[in-house]
Amino acid sequence: MTAPAPHQPPGTLVELLARSVADFAGRDALVTVEERLTYADLDGLTRRYTRSLVALGVGKGSRVGVLMENVPDWLALDFAVTGLGAVLVPLSTFATPADLAYQLRHADVSHLLMSRRFLKHDYLAGLLLVVPELERAEPGRLYAPGLPALRHVVVRGETDTLPAGATGWKAFVAAAEGVPADLVDELRAEVDPEDDCYLLYTSGTTAKPKGALHRHAAVAGNGWRIGEHQQLEPADVVWFYFPLFFSAGCINVSLGSLSHGAALLLQPVFEPEVALELIEREGATTWHLWPHTLKALMAHPDWERRDHHRLHKGTAPYDLMLGLTSEAGVGGVNMYGMTETCTAFTCTAASDPPEVRSRTQGSPLPGCELRITDPDSGAVLPPGTEGEIRVKGPNVLRRYYKVDPATTFDADGFFPTGDLGLVRDDGRLVFLRRLKDTIKTGGVNVSPAEVEAALREIPGVGEAYAFGIPSADRGEDVAAAVVPAGPLTEEGLLAAAHQVLAGPKRPRAVLILTADEVPMTGSGKVRVGALRDRLLEEMSTPATDGASRTPGGTHGT
């Protein structure tokens, strides 16, 4: 019988991988529709990529960008980069050329490893718009004023016709031959728990995204702790949909699973039919997903005929998870966290009672401190009182890169999250909503999430996004943008909303648009501010009868 993971968090990602390879070498680590890598295979691929990176000049402190979909190479590069003491900069596969330019420059990326294309994105073409110098440079000798730190660009896929300054994937892999194999362990031995390892970019829905700088002990330790709370074991098979560039993907799911010997199922794109086939084929026991993903799976014609009944763990909302398993009291864990806290800061345990997992986000992870404070004064509030969540602990970011830490942490070293919550008498956190998202209308605080949930129940509504708009007499009015899932008119939507929402919560203006028109950040989150701006612009545009469409005017209820 395979030995369990040691009950101490690993200090580095090097240690995390080494433990798993020693204990689970022959077990599946990464599984795709067409590919299967054991833990020994993953280590072998990681070692080869480590040597290739060394050949390109990557060393301790180097900033290495990775722009790839969910494939085994992504995780092998993760362990290879961080195993050198270099800093991994995961880049969004949703990135526009402008997004890419900002993050590459801000992060001081010297080496970029990227897929040439993914879905509708041509990343190489987008990069050339930013760095035309790549067309005439020599590999390793790229000097571009727009991206002054960038020297190497390595392209994965379709590498027959590359700019002169780019390196193809085959050449990158072959470069390993020039580096002694025993150098890998020597370099890994120099990695320290306090070394920086990840530079993760936040969503940037209202401003430029910030780079959260994390150290090895925070990333490796928190990944392991998440796996402990989920009670993962080598027999578990983990399916997920989160992109690996999300902290939820590269820390919560990946490290939580790989630190405990579980098999990780990878899909580059969420396709319900393929997902259900993979889940059944591999006997997935653990799912990580968002509610809309689960709804898409359950709505697919294959849902009823596929065997998905091995599920008993995961990190979807607990009540949804419990509805998918016949085992009473078994289901997912619930957690609270963000990019700045290596995903989870609080977490329920898989063994907690249903009431705890369905109504709370659990207790702070070991070594973590939590405060609820008055949003205006910063005064600490007693249990049961709603206020801003502030956090401090080993998994909190070291700093925002290129930002004065004095503007990030309070006088006691706590990080203000901008989220509202309360702590119960039993010490467990209840997350309520984003502080800045609260709509204050006529003296009443309205939660956008509550409005959105009600709107989604209206026939013909697919997705809904609620936000506040200026009001002359109420401070703010509730407004919403909606993506239809069927026939829908503005008048019909407003009338239906009048029936399902109380007075202050009813939208007084709506915007109906297609899914393609929803503005997204580089990390795939909706830019609510852009939706608000578009609605206000439309409302100020004269109608055909000459009237202005203003709040409380022709859109009013």
What is the structure's pLDDT at 315?
62
**Residue whose tokens read 């193809």:** 168
Q: Which two tokens stand for residue 548?
A: 């202005």
DSSP string of 237-305, one letter each residue: EEEE-S-TTSHIIIIIIHHHHHTTT-EEE--SS--HHHHHHHHHHHT--EEE--HHHHHHHHHSTTTTT
Which residues are bridge partners to 121 per DSSP? Answer: 118
Q: Which two tokens stand for residue 522?
A: 């580089």
Contact 312, 327 (CB under 8 A): yes
- Mean pLDDT comparison of 320-324, 464-468, 516-520, highest-scoring range: 464-468
Tell me if residue 32 falls in helix, strand or coil.
coil
Give which of 64, 83, 73, 119 is closest to 266, Cα–Cα: 73
Tell me if residue 518 falls in helix, strand or coil.
coil
Each residue's pLDDT tens digit, 324-383: 554 444 457 888 999 999 999 999 887 788 788 878 999 999 999 999 999 888 999 999
Please determine, for residue 489, whether its predicted confidence score (pLDDT) is greater than 70. Answer: yes
Contact 282, 265 (CB under 8 A): yes
**Average pLDDT for residues 90-112, to the nearest whole number?**
93
For the chain, how many residues are written? 557
Each residue's pLDDT tens digit, 415-445: 999 988 999 999 999 998 777 777 878 666 6
Confidence of residue 554 (pLDDT cuts 50, 70, 90): very low
Give which of 453, 435, 431 is closest to 360, Cα–Cα: 431
Rounded distance between C-alpha atoms, residue 369 and residue 391, angstroms:
6
Contact 283, 257 (CB under 8 A): no
More confident residue, 128 or 203: 128
Tell me if residue 37 falls in helix, strand or coil.
strand
Dihedral of the alpha carbons of 352, 355, 358, 364, in degrees to the nearest 10: -50
**Average pLDDT for residues 467-488, to the nearest whole number?**
87
The neighbour count for residue 514, using CB atoms within 10 Å, is 9
Q: Which two tokens stand for residue 399?
A: 């700093």
Distance of CA 181 to the CA centre of its chain: 34
More confident residue, 203 or 460: 460
Each residue's pLDDT tens digit, 496-511: 998 888 777 899 999 9
Indicate the average pLDDT of the chain: 88
What is the structure's pLDDT at 209?
83
State the angle between helix axes of 272-282 and 291-299 in degrees (0 to 180), rounded to the nearest 10: 90
Contact 408, 370 (CB under 8 A): no
Contact 272, 302 (CB under 8 A): yes
Give which of 397, 436, 410, 13 is closest to 210, Cα–Cα: 397
What is the structure's pLDDT at 547?
37
**Average pLDDT for residues 401-411, to the nearest whole number?**
95
Give which of 94, 21, 82, 23 is closest to 53, Cα–Cα: 82
The DSSP bridge pattern shows strands 111-115 and 152-156 to be: parallel
Give which of 462, 466, 364, 378 is closest to 416, Cα–Cα: 378
Give which of 110, 109, 47 is closest to 84, Cα–Cα: 47
What are the angstrom distances between the C-alpha of 45 and each of 173, 176, 498?
A: 10, 11, 58
Each residue's pLDDT tens digit, 245-270: 999 999 999 999 999 999 999 999 98
Q: Which two tokens stand for residue 20?
A: 């798993």
Confidence of residue 6 (pLDDT cuts 50, 70, 90): low
Contact 217, 194 (CB under 8 A): yes
Rounded distance between C-alpha atoms, residue 337 and residue 510, angstroms:
31
Q: Which two tokens stand for residue 547?
A: 């009237």
Residue 466 neighbours by CB under 8 Å, 6+ apart: 439, 448, 449, 451, 452, 455, 478, 479, 480, 507
φ/ψ of 256, rounded to 5, equals -60, -40
**∠ CA(449), CA(336), CA(253), 5° rounding?**
110
3-state secondary structure 367-386: CCEEEEECCCCCCECCCCCC
Rounded distance between C-alpha atoms, residue 530 and residue 511, angstroms:
12
Contact 27, 258 (CB under 8 A): no
What is the structure's pLDDT at 444?
66
Contact 220, 10 (CB under 8 A): yes
**Residue whose tokens read 């609620």:** 466
Write the single-letter amino acid at 193: P
Rounded distance between C-alpha atoms, residue 300 and residue 344, angstroms:
31
Write the single-letter amino acid at 482: V
The sheet carrying 196-201 orders its strands as: 166-168, 152-156, 111-115, 63-67, 87-90, 196-201, 211-215, 399-400
Rounded distance between C-alpha atoms, residue 234 and residue 4, angstroms:
8
Q: Is 252 exposed, middle or buried (0-12, 13-18, 19+ CB in 10 A)?
A: buried
More confident residue, 116 or 315: 116
What is the structure's pLDDT at 349?
82
Each residue's pLDDT tens digit, 529-548: 889 889 998 887 754 444 33
Rounded distance between C-alpha atoms, residue 86 and residue 20, angstroms:
21
In this prediction the pTM is: 0.81
b/e string for 42-68 if b means 16 or more Cβ within 10 A? bbebbbbbbbbbbbbebeeebbbbbbb
